[in-house]
């Protein structure tokens, strides 16, 4: 385990295993990499990311990574695998941690954290690529006992847009709530005085194609009280679990 402490870290400082030459394509095969066995304490990251170019077989991977009390200025994970990763306290500046079309196995978010966005589709406009990664992600999760543990995290924003099967998320049922597609489509949730942005969250969920979605009342959110009261009204009505 290579340890970094109290410093600004660039990816170039971390040992990177490049993808095999057979993965080479017009978008530089060297971006399909493996990062593993890294421990970061009180570190700051600038312009970090983990991209996957080409097909799902070429995925970049982050494995056995530990981060404690770090700062992330921006991070974009595109179609990557995050395996055995623990983040204990993370400030996010400028932009949230964004994971598009990525998959997780044994990822833990805990402590006081900033903003996270998990999106199902890897691309905004490439339907073929989205379908390929979606099929690969379904197959990946069939072999996973649990994907993400958010049961103790205190985040300012945590959006999971149909990207992780709810059954594979370890959660706090008092602050994290699962809604099915049928309930979202029936629109009964509108009767319980939703907070202003909830209709956008529902629309994003339905567009994702997922069968269900986990919604979070983030403890660090400025409208935490409003969110938690709304979700519990819906829970009492049987619209979420």
Q: pLDDT of 100-140, one tens digit each?
A: 999 999 999 999 999 999 999 998 888 999 999 999 999 99
- Report the percent of the chain where pLDDT is more than 70: 93
Measured CA to CA, the distance from residue 29 to residue 86 in angstroms comes to: 27
- Span 19-34, pLDDT tens digits: 555 545 444 444 578 8
Residue 26's pLDDT is: 42
Indicate whether 199 pLDDT > 70. Answer: yes
Burial 193-218 (b: 16+ CB within 10 A, else e): ebbeebeebbeebeebebebbbbbbb
Contact present, 103 and 83 (Cβ < 8 Å): no
Show the DSSP H helices in the chain as ranges.
127-141, 181-186, 198-208, 224-236
3-state secondary structure of 73: coil
Confidence of residue 11 (pLDDT cuts 50, 70, 90): low
Mean pLDDT of 184-213: 92
Computed over every residue of the chain, the mean pLDDT equals 90
Residue 21's pLDDT is: 55
Q: Which tops the pLDDT comparison, 74 or 171?
A: 171
At 91, give phi and psi (nearest 5°): -85, 135
- Output the pTM of the full model: 0.90
């Amino acid at each position: 385990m290579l340890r970094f402490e109290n410093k600004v870290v660039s990816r170039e400082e971390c040992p990177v295993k490049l993808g095999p030459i057979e993965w080479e394509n017009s978008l530089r095969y060297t971006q399909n990499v493996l990062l593993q066995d890294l421990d970061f304490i009180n570190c700051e990251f600038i312009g970090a990311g983990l991209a996957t170019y080409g097909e799902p077989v070429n995925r970049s991977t982050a494995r056995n990574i530990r981060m404690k009390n770090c700062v992330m200025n921006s991070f974009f994970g595109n179609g990557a695998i995050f395996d055995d990763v623990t983040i204990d306290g993370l400030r996010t500046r400028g932009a949230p941690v964004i994971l598009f079309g990525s998959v997780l196995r044994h990822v833990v978010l805990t402590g006081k954290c900033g903003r996270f966005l998990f999106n199902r589709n890897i691309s905004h406009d490439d339907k073929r690529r989205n379908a390929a990664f979606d099929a690969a992600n379904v197959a990946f999760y069939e072999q996973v006992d649990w994907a993400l543990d958010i049961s103790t995290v205190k985040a300012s924003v945590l959006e999971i847009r149909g990207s992780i099967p709810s059954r594979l998320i370890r959660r706090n049922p008092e602050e994290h709530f699962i809604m099915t597609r049928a309930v979202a489509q029936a629109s009964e949730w509108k009767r319980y005085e939703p907070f202003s942005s909830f209709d956008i969250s529902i629309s994003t969920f339905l567009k994702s194609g997922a069968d269900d979605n986990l919604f979070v009342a983030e403890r660090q959110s400025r409208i935490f009280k409003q969110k938690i009261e709304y979700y519990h009204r819906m829970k009492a009505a049987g619209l979420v679990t």
